[in-house]
Each structure stands twice: as structure tokens, then as C-alpha cells.
Structure 1
């Protein structure tokens, strides 16, 4: 475990180990989330990255964000004993009592791993174990951040969290390699927040509101809108 680093994703992509490796830091000085947003990184929270050399096309490699979300959900449930408190928000957040507890950021570099693949993949995970950013730090309408400690009274160290997360992800990875995405898709949908309910998908300045109907085999959100059904491969989701 590193005492401090700029970003566990950046560190993981710099070192490029030959086998899948977890990089965990006590503090990040340049943590980031999706779309380059800063990720506030006080000590005591979990900041970790699993780095690997994946096989297959980039679209298949990217499905590992859903594997990571399932592993995160399992870890949170095992460590708290509160299965009904955690849900998964498309595409890559874990919710606790409706607030954002954790986020996942996939980054890659180089070409490799087969036609259209990537040479290196970093699966970055941030979990608010003891502290969360203030609500005013997120954009209007976004899910407010929460911490595990404030919501449950349970204090978990990053080391203890990793001890459960690493094997949970390894099991999901093995299943993915053996059976494809279908089992993970089924399990993810069983834990999805707001499935069957109205949501808004925002891409840049364009917003679409409809019913969250499904997630397809490529991980795209299926939205039923007044103008028809639409598959959305990437967007920010607002409730």
C-alpha cells in the first residue's frame, strides 16, 4: 500500500505489471472521477486500482466496470450485513441509502489484447469509508455523496476493505472469462437502482428522460422515451 500518490490509476498505468495487481494508496493528491472531475481523497477512505493486461476488444474490456460494481456491492454487504441498503447506479456507482458511496473509473493505454483491444487496463475504485465530499461540491441534481461511517456507524479500514474486495473481484473476473457477460448482467440488473422508474440521461448539453427499462449485452442503458426505446452507451444519470 502506498502512503500517497497522485492517482492510483495513473500509478498503475505507469508501472504496468505482468500479472493483475492491486494498487492502493492512503491518500491521492490528484484523484479523478469520470469526465476528469476531481475526486476528493482524504485519508481513511479507499483508493484502489486493479491493473491488468486484458484480452479482447475494447468494448468487451469495458464491461469490467460492471464486474467491479458487483464486487463492490458484495464487499459492502459482507462487511456491514446490510444487504438492503446498497444499490447499483448505472453505469458505475454504488449507492448507500440512496447516496453515492463509491465510484468506478476505467482507464486504458496502448493497443493490444487482440483486434481493437487495449494493452493495459486500470480499474479505479474510490469508496467513501469515513468521509464524503460536501453536497454542494456535486452538480445540481446529482446524487449526494455519503460515507459508510456516517450512514451505518461502521468503521472499516482500507486494508480490511481490500481484503474482501480483491477476492470478490477475482471471482467475478473468472466467471466473466468462463461464461461471458450474461451472468454479470443478470446479477447487476437485480441490484439496479431505479430500474423500471423514470430517470434522466444527460450527455453534454442533451438530456433525455424516460423509463429505465433494461441494460443490454454491451452494457448500454435501455431507456423508454416518449419517442421510442433508445440504447445509451454513455451518459450521466439523474434521478
Structure 2
């Protein structure tokens, strides 16, 4: 039950973080979405052996999380939730890539480089997506998607699904609490009750979702999700967009770690 409560808290915590009034939060959501999409494209564009060239991209999430005054621990905790799945997929690469190289006297498969590349890319992508949600909020993010001419139906489905997750978790927590009170000596839900528990959960959440929809219709909902008043681009938005575009272009066109290493080597000599 505590895990469900933690999930509810984590979901609401992102919404709370999005209500802050820092310099990053005040930026236009469309600009933040564009910068995030370009960042994800940059991460995907690097080859599987270009690990060193990925490292300068860490500069982006580090700067954003500091300017937005976000707590690092909850963000990292959410990233770690995803990483076991990534590790489970990437760990197979050393088995398929048989080429070897020598590092510090050790003979290693190139599959380990591929695995490390997948691991770093997954951290970067999940990190910036979480930062986007934590500094923008789902409603403003939906408005940004609408500005990109994404179909209204897709945006509405995204928003309602996001809200439905909290409804599902609340019902699951309520049912689990009732189950524990009726079976105080039972640890968790017994395997014989899983089927009925899942069925009741679906029925309850569906019934509650219908009541929520009816309440929305009574309040004038016609299928168009109101994402709020339109925002105008400011000078800060343009500078933010232009600055990060230049940085991403430099990271993609030049091997910055190599340049820094060459510069430091020259200085030492």
C-alpha cells in the first residue's frame, strides 16, 4: 500500500514542481518543448561508440535543474525506475558483438561500449523529459503540442490518460486498504484474489471515470480541452532557444571532449 501511496505522491509532486515561478518555469512552453525535442534528436544522432561526445550534453539538464531550483533526489529516483529495463535490454549487446579491444590490459567486447552508450542515452532522455514536465506542467505542455498542430484528439487522450492514472492509483490504494483491514495477517493480496481484485479495480475506476466525465459535461465540456490563455514569446524565450540551439550545434559538429583534451595537453606541455 505504501508503494501505491508513493506513486500518488510522486505523480502529484511533479505537478507541484511545475507551479514554481523560476526563470525556467516562466519560459514559453512551446520553446521548452522545441529545445527538449532537439536535445532528444541530438542524443539519438550520436553513434553507439561515440560515448565521449555525449558527455557535454549533460551540461543541459544540470543547468536546467539548477535554474529551475528542482530537487535532484526525486528526479534521480524516477530515472532509476526506468534503468532496470534499459539494463535488461542493453546487457545482451556483449553477447552479440564479438569484436574486442584492449583497455588497461583487459580485453573487452565492443558490446560493452554499446551497452554503456545505451545506458547514458537513456539517462539523458528520461532526465530531460522529466525536467520538461516538472518545469512546464501537463496543461501547458498540451498547449505547446497544440501549437505544433498535433491533433486535438491525441492531446485530449494524453491529458485524460495522465489524469486517469491518479484515479486508478487512488482506487487501488482504497481497495488495498480495505483488503488489509479485512485480512490483517495477510501480507499483500493473496494470489487467489488477484483476479477479482484486478477486475474490481477496473470496474471501480471505469465507474469513477464516467462520473468525472459527466461532471465535466455538466460544466460545459464539449471535447475541447481548455489549456488556458495563449502566451506570447518574449526576448528571454528567443535567447533561451537560440542559446541552446547554438550549444547543441557545437556539440554535434565538434568533438568537444577531444578539443578540451588537446588544449589541456598543450597547456601542460
More helix by share: 2
Question: Fold match, TM over 0.5?
Answer: no
Instruction: Provide the TM-score with structure 2 as the length reference.
Output: 0.21
Higher relative contact order (CA 8 A, sep 6+): 2
